[in-house]
Structure 1
Amino acid sequence: MFSVALVFGLTATAASAGPLLTPRIDITCPIVLEGRVASSTALSDFDSYSTSIFNPDYVRGSQPWSQILVFSNTTNSRFENASYKSIEVTISDQSIFQSQNGFRRAGLQINGDTNTGGPGSKGVKTLHWSVKQDSSRPLNLTHEYLNVWHERADYNGNQFNFQTGTVIGQSYAKDTFKILDRQNVLVWSTPIDATAWQNFAVTLDFDKNTLQVYYSEGDAALAAVTNVLTNDNSGEGQYQFGILKKPTGTSDVVNSGYQEKGILEGQIYGGIFLEDSADGCISL
């Protein structure tokens, strides 16, 4: 359906260390929402609207983002040159948003991505992100995690989910990343790599109500891993990047259930951006 244009081209683990660099890939499609972190950014910058590319107030517990985020001393992801660096979202026992006592969560929202009338919920858009694992802050895959998703404006569902761990009520392999559609049906999955960057993109056509998934590992070019799939993309809403860890042992996951004590978990993110794919342009 799309004509694809190939593009060439807490204590901080190492808060003051710069990223390890290899040649990166340029983005040629128009960027609608920019979630790549500038290399000059300090952790304190995430606490203010005037200095953060993300919403400083959401979605987190009582701790400010400067105490939640970590700069990791790792190679940059494939869409980040020396002007950018990766960011790690962490969760702890204090990661309780509002009164959602069942969840442990911290999720970044890009400034400009409004819940209604926003640029990310119209036309044809491709969301990009890359993830890498932190062996010092491993996820507990006996739990279900939401890592990236587009939540409807009414907060009653998501147009798609990027998840890992043990999905409640399903028999999917826990040590995989999974893309689920609007109906929470698995459309594609891949094993978690313990060391490499894993790169993902999801194209959402809000006019034709379709979804398509792209994937690569390391510095390899993205490739389509699904066909163009029917998906109900209505409802507007916002994108979120981070960790939402569900509890076990309950049917009321928002408000109750088991979460172990002493949580210290993280997910490294890079290459976050939303591009305009109205003319079939997708950065691969």
Structure 2
Amino acid sequence: MLAAKMQRAILMAVFLFASLSLAESTTPGQADLGEQSLDSKPSGAGGGASGGKDAGNKEASTSDTKRIFDFKLTPEMKTADVDNKDSALSKLIAYIVKGAGKASEYVSIVQHKKAATEIRLEIHDDSIFLPGDSPANAQHGFRRTDVNPAIDKATTLTGITTWYQTIRLDSKAPLVLTHGYLLTCMEVPASDNSQTVRVRDYKTKTLYSLPLKYDQNYNFAITVDWTANTLTVYASVGIDPLKMVAGPMPNDPKAMSPEFKLKGEYHIQLIKFPLADAKDPVDKRSDTPHFGFQEPIKKEHVSFSNVFVTSGKEIEQPKFTSQRTRKPQLVDDSSISKTSDPAERFAYTSFPTCPLS
């Protein structure tokens, strides 16, 4: 029975940069390197995070890495700053995708005494995006909140650049895992699933995966060679240093199509995909931004920290911090329906473009 085998995961599907999503069960026959451990070295990976003997060092790298974009959250920043266009925080943000309320109703700054400051994105029942501020374009299928960091496309989308971020899901605001979720993207989100964190390429082949837990930091760095069109993945959990876990591996040539050159929009986000609605015409059910069913939202959010971009072949080893308030816990699947068909609930595996437009 398909439903009995259904799992769920965070998926990081690399397109121009990457998209990270929580979605449905894996399509049979799909390319997949399977679940791996950060202590093992997968096929195609080599060395540590910097490719040298000091790769396991928890201290910041002393190599020639240069941050060309830094979404730096300082202790002075506060939630009210997202409503003030002249604040230091707002200067880091190009755009916020949100519902009808003030930005601070959906985006907040969370300070911790012994851990990195986080930016928290939450969704509500009114988290419906109106592209172009036109009700005719309303994305009634999605519930979404996005923050678009104000990257310099001329420097971040050329040469060799590495994209870093730490992501944390909160057991006090659990996601509803009958739905798919997109957590970050540059251009094209993709969605399918298992109880793992996955890094995938443009063709949705899984490059790396590890178990998914609430209240645990997932640290990622993805190096994109914009000339050779290759991807290299580094990852760790908690305060562990980044390690190379996949690559360099070739990406699909479509990812470097001239139509995408220097046009990528970087999103950190929480997008909740709808369930298929039997009332919708069958041919409309794959149009998930605009069709589908959403239950009332109780409390759902995701937190980000360590968001920055470096240039060059070497990568930086950030000084990761982690909250010690709650023990990381595996996601409970009791909320997942045992009677509904996951293939019916999720009718597609990818968008042609990032759903901002």
TM-score (norm 2): 0.62
- Name the TM-score, length of structure 1 as normaliser: 0.76
**Pick aligned residue for 2:271 from 236, 241, 244:** 244
Q: CA deviation at 1:129?
A: 0.5
> Does structure 2 retain, via aligned residues, the 8 Å contact 1:137–1:265?
yes
| 1:1-284 map, 5 Å | 4=51, 6=54, 25-26=59-60, 29-51=65-87, 52-55=90-93, 57-72=95-110, 74=112, 80=116, 85-98=117-130, 99-113=138-152, 117-151=153-187, 158=188, 167=191, 170=192, 172-173=193-194, 175-231=195-251, 232=253, 233-234=255-256, 235=260, 236=262, 237-249=264-276, 250-276=285-311, 278=312, 280-284=313-317
User: How far, CA to CA, are the matches of 1:265 and 1:125 in structure 2?
Assistant: 32
**Larger proportion of helix:** 2
Question: Structure 1, residues 129-179: CA drift from partner, whole Å, max 9, x if none?
Answer: 11122122111122111111111xxxxxx2xx5x7xxx4xx4x31x32222
In 2, the alpha carbon distance for the partners of 1:34 and 1:4 equals 23
1:45 to 1:183, Cα distance in 2 relative to 1, 3 A: same
Residue 25 of structure 1: how far off its partner (Å): 4.4
AA matched with 1:246:
F
1:275 and 1:253 map into 2 onto residues whose CA distance is 34
Cα distance between partner residues in 2 of 1:203 and 1:263: 37
> For the structure 1 residues 214 and 76, does the alpha-carbon distance in structure 2 shift closer, same or farther, using more than 3 Å as the test?
farther
- Whether the 8 Å CA contact 2:95–2:148 is kept in 1: the answer is no
Q: Greater RCO between the two (CA within 8 Å, min separation 6)? A: 2
Please list the CA deviations of residues 5-53 of structure 1 after superposition, one character each: whole Å capped at 9, or x if unmatched.
Answer: 65798xxxxxxxxxxxxxx843652111111311100112122342124
TM superposition shift of 1:186: 2.7
- Do 1:132 and 1:194's aligned partners in 2 also have CA atoms closer than 8 Å? yes
CA distance in 1, matches of 2:128, 2:216: 30
CA distance in 1, matches of 2:113, 2:246: 28
Structure 2 contact 77–109 (Cα < 8 Å) conserved: no
Question: Structure 1 unaligned runs (5+)?
Answer: 10-23, 152-157
**Distance apart, 1:56 and its partner CA:** 6.0
Contact 1:7 1:283 in 2 (8 A): no
Identity of aligned residues (%): 26
CA RMSD of aligned residues (A): 2.6
What is the CA–CA distance in structure 2 between the aligned matches of 1:209 and 1:110, rounded to whole Å? 23
Distance 1:47 1:119, change over 3 A: farther
Distance (Å, rounded) in 2 between the aligned partners of 1:56 and 1:211: 26
**Larger Cα Rg: Structure 1 or Structure 2?**
2
Number of residue pairs the alignment of both structures matches: 243
SS at match of 1:109: strand
